[in-house]
Amino acid sequence: MSKYVPTRKNLLKSIEEESNFLSGLTPEKEWLDTPISFRPGNWCHGGKPQVIESLDAPNPRKWSPNDKDWQLPANWQKIIHQGMKDQLDKSRTLKIFMDTCVRCGACADKCHFFLGSGDPKNMPVLRQELIRSIYRKDFTLGGKLLGRLAGAREMTEDVLKEWFMYFHQCTECRRCSVFCPFGIDTAEFTSMARELMHSVGVNINWIMEPASNCNRTGNHLGIEPHTFKQMVESLVEDIEDVTGVTVEPTFNRKGAEILFITPSGDIFADPGVYTMMGYLLLFHHIGLDYTISTYASEGGNFGSFVSHDLTKKLNAKMYHEAERLGVKWILGGECGHMWRVIHQYMDTMNGPADFLEEPVSPITGTKFENARSTKMVHIAEFTADLIKNDRLKLDPRRNNHRTVTFHDSCNPVRAMGMVEEPRYILKNVCNNFHEMPENTIREQTFCCGSGSGLNTNEYMDIRMRGGFPRANAVKHVHDKHKVNLLTAICAIDRVTLKTLMEYWVPGVEVSGLHELVGNALVMEGESERTEDLREDPLEEIEEDEDEDI
C-alpha cells in the first residue's frame, strides 16, 4: 500500500476533485467505462519467463501487470479471438452460458468478492459481461451490427487488463452458480478467460510456478524425493513424541494395495502437517496397506487454474504413478481443487482408469461405487465409513479444548457433494461443535477468498476483502459459542483461513479434519496423552465409569 499512497500534490488534487467522501462526488461513469487501476495489493506478479519456458507456454518475458506495456504478441487479438472460437466449438455448455443469461440479478449479491468489496464488477453477472461483451462483438450478428447498443465492445488492451484484474478476483468457487436459475457456471467463464489470457502470456506466477514444479518434480514447491521423504519422517518422529507410537509409512512401494495422495501442503505447511499426522495415525490404527509416492507428491492441480491441457497433464501424473506402482486404487487426502478435477473432469480427460480396481475398503468391505470410474476415494468418506462400522477406537474428549466449527470448502462441497461425511466425523471425534449460519455453509458456503491460485501474499488486500463474508460468519459463532477452531478439508483453506482469522477474528485457529481424528484415536500401545498433535496441552479428562471407549 505504501506505493499506492500518492504524492502530496496528487493527494490534495484527488481529495478535492475525485469522487470521495470529502468532495462528495460519486463515480460518474458506467461500469463498462470505469477504468481499472493497478495498485500494490490488488494484483499478483506475472509469470516469470523461466517458469513459462519450462512449461513451453506462450510469450515468456519479464513483465509486471502494472507495466504500461504488457509486451503482448503482435497478433494477440487474433489469438484471443481464435481461442474463444475454439472453446465455443469445443464446449457446448459455454456457448449456452454465453447466450442464456437474462440478467435477473440472482447471482449479483452472492459473490464473496462483491460482498467484501462493493465493486459492481465483482457481481458475477457483470464479471461475465466482461467476456460476453467481446463474444457479442465477435460472434453475434446483433453485436456486430449494433455494437454498444447490443452490449458489445472491441477487444482492447484495456479490456485485457480488466480481465486480468477481475478474473483473478474470482476464485472459481461457484457459489453464484447455486443461485442461478439457469445453472450458469461462472467458474467456466473464469477458466475460459484465464486460458485465453494464458494463450498470450498473461498469467500469474503463483499459479504458473507451482504448476511448473508439479510438472517437473511432482509437488508445488518443487521438493525433491529425498527431501519429501525426510519431511514425512520428521512428522513420524513428532507423532512418536506425542503418542509413543511409531508409525511406518512407505514410499514408492510397488504392490501396495492403496496409493495415498494428498496436497503437499500437508507435508510441510502449518497447520497442514498436523492433518498429515492424523492420516498417518489413522492408517497405522487400521493397519492399512498403503504407500506414498514422492513423484505424485501433490494432490492439488495448479493446472486447473490456468488451462485445460495443463489440468489434464498434472492429473494424468497421479494415475500413471498408480499404474506404475500396481496399486488397486487411490485414496485422496483433504484437498480442494484436486477433488473438483477428479470428480468433474478426470473421467473425460484421462479416464476411465481401467487399470485400477473398483475401490473397496479393506477394513469394512464397503464398495465405493461412486468412485467406480475414477478409482479414487475421498478420505472423509473412507473415515466416515470406518466410524460407521465401528472400526475406530475414539476418545472425543481429547478435543475438549477445542470448540469447533466447520468450513465447507468450495470444491468438495459444490463439486462433489461432500457435505455430511466431514460433519459425521467431527461429531464423533469432538464434543463441542457448532455450525455457522445456514446461508454460509453447505452448498451456500463462502469461499476463503484465496482459492484458485490467489493465495499469494502480494494479493493480501484483495484476499482479506474476499474472505470477509466467511470471516463474518466465523466471528458470529466465535462471539456466540466461543468457537476457537475452524476446521476445513482443503489445504489452501488451512493456510489462508489462518491468515484470514488473524485479521478478522483473532483467537480462532485453523485445522484439518484428520488432525482432530488423530487427536481422538486411541492407539494400541500408546503412552498417556497429555498433549494434542500440536503439542498443546489437553484439558484434564475426568475418568469415570464411561470407560467403554
Partner 1 sequence: MSLIQHLKENKEKILQKWFEEILKTYPPETTQHLKKNNNPFANPIGHTLGESIFNIFEGILEERSPDELISDVDQIIKVRAVQDIKPSEAVNPVLLLKSIVRTEFEKIKNTAENREHYAVIDKIDHLILLSLDLYMESREKINEIKLSEYNRQYYRLIQRGNQGQNN
Would you say 52 or 353 has its CB closer to partner 1? Answer: 52
For 337-390, where are the E strands, in sequence order?
376-378
189 with 149: CB under 8 angstroms? Answer: no
Does position 56 interact with partner 1 (CB under 8 A)? The reply is no
Smaller CB separation from partner 1, 167 or 382: 167
CA torsion through residues 96, 97, 98, 99, sign: positive
Contact between 104 and partner 1 per CB under 8 A: no
The nearest distance, CB 255 to partner 1, in angstroms, is 29
φ/ψ bin of 535: left (φ > 0), alpha (ψ from -120 to 50), beta (otherwise): left
Phi, then psi, of 310 in degrees rounded to 5: -70, -35
Cell numbers 488451462: residue: 307
Q: Which amino acid is at 373?
A: S
303, 314 in Cβ contact below 8 A? yes
* Least distance from partner 1 to the Cβ atom of residue 460, Å: 8
Backbone angles phi, psi at 165, to 5 degrees: -70, -50
Q: Does 212 bind partner 1 (CB under 8 A)?
A: yes
| β-sheet bridge partners, residue 377 | 331
Q: Which three cell numbers stand for residue 216?
A: 517437473
| CB-nearer residue toward partner 1: 397 or 407 | 407
Nearer to partner 1 (CB atom), residue 115 or residue 430: 115
Residues 471/450, Cβ–Cβ less than 8 Å: no
Q: Does 298 bind partner 1 (CB under 8 A)?
A: no
> Are the C-beta atoms of 216 and 180 separated by less than 8 Å?
no
Smallest distance from the beta carbon of 472 to partner 1, in angstroms?
4
Q: Which is nearer to partner 1, 60 or 512 (CB)?
A: 60
381-420 residues in contact with partner 1 (CB under 8 A) are: none
472 binds partner 1 (CB under 8 A): yes
Q: How far apart are CA 43 and CA 37, in angstroms?
A: 10
Span near partner 1 by CB under 8 A; candidates 110-118, 266-274, 346-354, 359-367: 110-118
Say which residues have a Cβ less than 8 Å from residue 344's Cβ, sequence separation at least 6: 415, 416
Q: How far is the CB of 300 from partner 1 (least distance, A)?
A: 16
Q: Largest alpha-carbon pair distance within the chain?
A: 82
Shorter beta-carbon distance to partner 1: residue 278 or 469: 469
Nearer to partner 1, 271 or 469 (CB): 469
Binder of partner 1 out of 133, 177, 213, 455 (CB under 8 A): 213
Sheet containing strand 376-378, strands side by side: 290-292, 258-261, 329-332, 376-378
- At 433, is the secondary structure helix, strand, or coil? strand
CA distance 511 to 532: 12
Of 11 and 549, nearer to partner 1 (C-beta) is: 11
**Per-residue contact string for residues 31-50; x = within reach of partner 1 by CB under 8 A:** x--x----x--x-----x-x
Q: Shortest Cβ distance from residue 314 to partner 1 (Å)? A: 16
The single residue among 469, 477, 494, 501 that binds partner 1, judged by CB under 8 A, is 469
Among 191, 409, 440, 519, indicate the residue that binds partner 1 (CB under 8 A): 440
φ, ψ dihedrals at 399, nearest 5°: -110, 20
Which residues would be at the binding site for partner 1 (CB under 8 A)? Answer: 1-2, 5, 8, 11-12, 14-15, 19-22, 24, 26-27, 31, 34, 39, 42, 48, 50-51, 54, 108-109, 114-120, 123, 209, 212-213, 217, 221-224, 437, 439-440, 461-462, 464-465, 468-469, 472-473, 476, 503-504
